[in-house]
């Protein structure tokens, strides 16, 4: 539901992500040096560690989050921000920018005998502060003692030992550039104006669900050699029509979630999975719109009645990726297929006959309604491209 159209979703707004994106705006306000609001002076002792390092640039453990943020408001803001940054890859620059304090990967705060406040006030905040750019490695203990004038060999040796081997390897193999590297997400936060909109897009990328491959695999097996790419199939659906009912029907077909007799029998709602029209033992989606003899007869007669330029194939019917031919563009043919499927589905539930004559009346009524909508809202060009040839075909078949 939340995924992009091209990934089989409906782009339904995520209320949770929207709430989190509004919380991110408070981090923007807190880090803004030009913002001198009084509330910043109230919370800065809690949110600033030392120098220009804020708590939002640290990776707290679950226990530290509860201890550091006893009030729910700032705790939710911190967790929302971590949802955004946790997807960042640990490239060489990001490793350099990792905080030495309140970092669940280092656990330096739990070590006994570390003069934490003294080191923070001296500027020992990030891995970048104990890294020798010229040599391309972490500074040895004696060099650190000389640079900061704090501690001895054993102190710095203990600090260096907590840095993970994977990070050490990255710093050896990928020597960072001379300038200070900062993760792009922090730079974007400070530079962007519409923070909530940007944060929402990032959160939706991190929360994105994978496209349901199971339904696609089944269609590929049933249709045997599908030529269309699935992103284009989903995108075509939204380009073909603006009618929500048609889009919803087609989306359920693509995801194979229509309540056919087979599904209802599996759910113990119906006693049998038999087709109510041709009495075949297994009524699935493929059978409803193509396998049933009534459905095949409908599509064959529709082609001859409206003098359509081509016979529809199973791939055309189920995926909706119909191509144009001659004077017939793809738009009217795709709408014709969508309306044909909606007509078959309605007849299945009502028990009425799936005749082309009844569909012609159904199509004429649908086009008349669309014409009234166009008269009020505009969009005559799109209407002519979609329904012009279908209306001509209806008028010709009725004479």
Q: What are the tens digits of pLDDT across the range 114-137?
A: 888 888 888 888 888 888 878 778
Contact 328, 230 (CB under 8 A): no
Minimum mean pLDDT range among 24-28, 250-254, 316-320, 378-382: 378-382
Q: Residue 123: its pLDDT value, please? A: 86
Minimum mean pLDDT range among 39-53, 155-169, 175-189, 370-384: 175-189
Average pLDDT over residues 316-322: 90
Q: Residue 209: its pLDDT value, please? A: 54
pTM of the predicted model as reported, rounded to 2 decimal places: 0.64
Percent of the chain at pLDDT > 90 equals 28
Mean pLDDT, all residues of the chain: 85
- 3-state SS, one letter per residue, for the chain: CCCCHHHCCCCCCCHHHHHHHHHHHHHHHHHCCCCCCHHHHHHHHHHEEECCEEHHHCCCCHHHHHHHCCCHHHHHHHHHHHHHHCCCCCCHHHHHHCECCCCCCCCHHHCCCCCHHHHHHCCCCEHHHHEECCCCEECCHHHHHHHHCCCCHHHHHHHHHCCCHHHHHHHHHCCCCCCCCCCHHHHHHHHCCCHHHHHHHHHHHHCCCCCCHHHHHHHHHHHCCCCCCHHHHHHHHHHHCCCHHHHHHHHHHHCCCCCCHHHHHHCCCCCCCCCCCCCCCCCCHHHHHHHCHHHHHHHHHHHHHCCCCCCCCHHHHHHCCCCCECCECHHHHHHHHHHHHHHHHHHHHHCCCCCHHHHHHHHHHHHHHHHHHHHHHCCHHHHHHHHHHHHHHHHHHHC
Minimum mean pLDDT range among 6-20, 33-47, 163-177, 220-234: 163-177
Contact 306, 394 (CB under 8 A): yes
Higher local confidence (pLDDT), 29 or 13: 29
Q: How far apart (Å, rounded) are the C-alpha atoms in residues 137 and 18?
A: 42
Contact 302, 360 (CB under 8 A): no
pLDDT over 80 at 175, yes or no: no
Higher local confidence (pLDDT), 394 or 107: 394
Minimum mean pLDDT range among 19-23, 95-99, 196-200, 328-332: 95-99
Q: How far apart (Å, rounded) are the C-alpha atoms in residues 138 and 4?
A: 44
- Beta strand 131-132 with 137-138: parallel, antiparallel or unpaired? antiparallel
Token pair for 328? 């017939």
pLDDT over 80 at 250, yes or no: yes
- Would you list the domain boundaries of the chain? 5-206, 213-398
């Amino acid at each position: 539901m939340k995924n992009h159209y091209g990934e089989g979703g409906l782009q339904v707004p995520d209320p949770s992500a929207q709430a989190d994106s509004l919380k991110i705006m408070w981090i923007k306000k807190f880090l803004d040096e030009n913002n001198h609001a009084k509330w910043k002076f109230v919370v800065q002792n809690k949110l600033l560690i030392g120098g220009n390092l804020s708590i939002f640039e640290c990776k707290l453990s679950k226990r530290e989050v509860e201890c550091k943020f006893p009030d729910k408001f700032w705790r939710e803001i911190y967790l929302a921000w971590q949802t955004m940054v946790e997807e960042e890859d640990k490239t060489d620059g990001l490793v350099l920018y990792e905080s030495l304090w309140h970092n669940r990967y280092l656990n330096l705060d739990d070590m006994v005998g570390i003069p934490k406040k003294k080191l923070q006030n001296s500027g020992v905040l990030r891995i970048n502060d104990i890294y020798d750019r010229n040599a391309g490695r972490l500074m040895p203990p004696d060099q650190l003692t000389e640079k900061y004038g704090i501690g001895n060999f054993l102190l710095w040796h203990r600090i260096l030992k907590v840095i993970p081997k994977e990070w050490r390897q990255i710093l050896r193999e990928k020597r960072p550039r001379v300038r200070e590297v900062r993760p792009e997400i922090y730079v974007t936060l400070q530079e962007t104006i519409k923070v909530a909109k940007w944060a929402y897009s990032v959160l939706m990328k991190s929360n994105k669900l994978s496209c349901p491959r199971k339904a696609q695999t089944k269609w590929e097996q049933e249709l045997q050699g599908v030529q269309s790419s699935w992103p284009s199939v989903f995108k075509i659906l939204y380009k073909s029509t603006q009618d929500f009912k048609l889009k919803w029907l087609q989306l359920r077909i693509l995801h194979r979630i229509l309540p056919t007799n087979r599904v209802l029998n599996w759910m113990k709602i119906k006693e049998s999975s038999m087709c109510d029209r041709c009495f075949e033992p297994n009524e699935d989606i493929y059978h409803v719109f193509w396998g049933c003899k009534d459905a095949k007869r409908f599509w064959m007669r529709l082609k001859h009645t409206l003098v359509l330029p081509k016979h529809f194939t199973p791939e055309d019917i189920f995926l909706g990726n119909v191509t144009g031919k001659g004077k017939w563009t793809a738009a009217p043919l795709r709408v014709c297929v969508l309306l044909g499927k909606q007509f078959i589905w309605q007849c299945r539930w009502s028990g009425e006959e799936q005749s082309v004559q009844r569909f012609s009346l159904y199509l004429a009524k649908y086009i008349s309604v669309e014409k009234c909508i166009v008269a009020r809202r505009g969009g005559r060009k799109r209407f002519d491209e979609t329904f012009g040839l279908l209306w001509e075909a209806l008028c010709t078949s009725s004479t």
